[in-house]
Amino acid sequence: MIRFLTAGESHGKALTTIVEGFPSNLKIEKNYIDFHLKRRQMGYGRGGRMKIESDSVEILSGIRFQKTLGSPISLLIKNNDWENWTDKMTPGKRPGNIENISIPRPGHADLVGSGKYNFNDIRNSIERSSARETAARVAAGSIARSFLQNFRITIGSFVESIGNIYPADNFLHKLFNNNLPFNFDAWQLAEDADRSPVRVLEKKQEEKIIRKIKSVKKKGDTLGGTFVTVASGLPLGLGSFVHYDKRLDTEIAAAIMSINAVKGVEIGTGFSSAEALGSKSHDQIIKEGNNIIRKTNRAGGIEGGISTGMPVIVRGAMKPIATLISPIATVDLSTMKNILARRERSDFVAVPACAVISESMLAWVIAKFMLEKFGGDSIEETKDNYNSYTKKLNNRIKRNFR
């Protein structure tokens, strides 16, 4: 069973994560983790913070000579901005000149956090609810991706829309129709998306989105959007229908929904399947040569809570950024007067980064189910178990019914 915990405040000294449960002898390279950390920082429409930070991981334990030891892996990502916040964020005695924040931003964790944790300073809520924490998740997710590479499972994502601007030819439909290149590899999608400053796959759409971000920014407003995350190379058989919490789709939905500001998750055709006929929703099972295949993948690679072996297709919706330069109404808790919300240095759009984070979350869930099914204390043992299962799988399905 793999698990990870993160710690760290947005303007604290560093973010840390402890990752546990991966087998030994798994190759992990610092550069690979840094590569994905950099990807999380990209995207047109980010605020000033990303110019200050240049995320890079320090591996503190669990890895020797670029290979896992089977022991807990601890990772550290320094916050460069900490230098500017040493007094405001000191774990020591409170300096006298620090002002409490009493004006909550609608759409953020400010008010609920202060109510729940009995804070008299909203800063205490802001610091941990900030999506800065997701850098630690990407570091943990990069370990999961390194593990999955051993089974040729790759993950990729692209931004489908920002501010309601969708592509003319949505790649999502190619995924549903299984109209994909031979040997489709989900990482190719991420590589294509990474070439765009807003991580979309169409140039015209990119131009429109950038224009829209510019005009919304001028008005002091923000935008959200949708993103698509895909995993390819999964074997049939991850997850189960035997219990609600054993279903692969249960965990994927929770993992994507756990990303800050994500308010909707869909697997396969999801919401639109609720509006379609059954005959147009399900993926027909057909025989091609000696194989049983599906021509379409509207199920998004999961049926009965179990992976079908086709790409897993997840779509997420991110709400607009809550911090507004032209703020909306709130109440100052120190005076109980109506007032406009506080401004804080902030992103205008973070859908591209959100998509990158979703890759890590999806990788994590798939790695968890892979290890649950194939186990092993060393990567060699996991691979042996995997090979034995996958080699016999097709014959077993056919033989059992004769």
**Distances from the Cα of 207 to the Cαs of 80, 162, 175, 211, in angstroms?**
32, 11, 24, 6
| Main-chain dihedrals φ then ψ at residue 279, nearest 5 degrees | -65, -20
Cross-strand bridge partners of residue 293: 286
Nearer to ligand FMN, 2 or 261 (CB): 261
Nearer to ligand FMN, 131 or 310 (CB): 131
Nearer to ligand FMN, 282 or 343 (CB): 343
Other CB atoms closer than 10 Å to residue 211's CB: what's the count?
12
Nearer to ligand FMN, 36 or 294 (CB): 36
Joined tokens for residue 254:
């929770």
Q: List residues binding ligand FMN (CB under 6 A).
A: 47, 107-109, 129-131, 134, 259-261, 321-323, 346-347, 350, 353-354, 357
Joined tokens for residue 194:
């990474």
Q: Which residues contact 374 (CB under 8 A, 6 or more apart)?
A: 382, 385, 386, 389
Helix (H, G, I), strand (E, B) or coil at 140: helix
At closest approach, how far in Å is the CB of 125 from ligand FMN? 10
127 touches 11 (CB < 8 A): yes
137 touches 36 (CB < 8 A): no
Nearer to ligand FMN, 176 or 348 (CB): 348
Nearer to ligand FMN, 133 or 206 (CB): 133
Alpha carbon distance 192, 338 (integer Å): 47
Q: Which residues contact 316 (CB under 8 A, 6 or more apart)?
A: 226, 227, 228, 229, 256, 259, 262, 264, 265, 266, 354, 355, 358
At closest approach, how far in Å is the CB of 348 from ligand FMN? 8
At closest approach, how far in Å is the CB of 260 from ligand FMN? 3
At closest approach, how far in Å is the CB of 349 from ligand FMN? 9
At closest approach, how far in Å is the CB of 134 from ligand FMN? 6
Nearer to ligand FMN, 103 or 371 (CB): 103
Region class of 256: left (phi > 0), else alpha (psi between -120 and 50), else beta: alpha
Nearer to ligand FMN, 264 or 270 (CB): 264
143 touches 73 (CB < 8 A): yes
At closest approach, how far in Å is the CB of 130 from ligand FMN? 6
Nearer to ligand FMN, 307 or 358 (CB): 358
Q: Which amino acid is at 148?
A: L
- DSSP H helices, 130-177, are 134-149, 171-176
Other CB atoms closer than 10 Å to residue 73's CB: what's the count?
24
Find where tokens 């804070």 sit. Answer: 119
Nearer to ligand FMN, 6 or 260 (CB): 260
Nearer to ligand FMN, 73 or 350 (CB): 350
At closest approach, how far in Å is the CB of 393 from ligand FMN? 37
Rounding to the nearest 10 degrees, give the CA dihedral for residues 315, 319, 320, 323.
-140
Q: Which residues contact 134 (CB under 8 A, 6 or more apart)?
A: 40, 259, 260, 353, 357
Other CB atoms closer than 10 Å to residue 51's CB: what's the count?
10
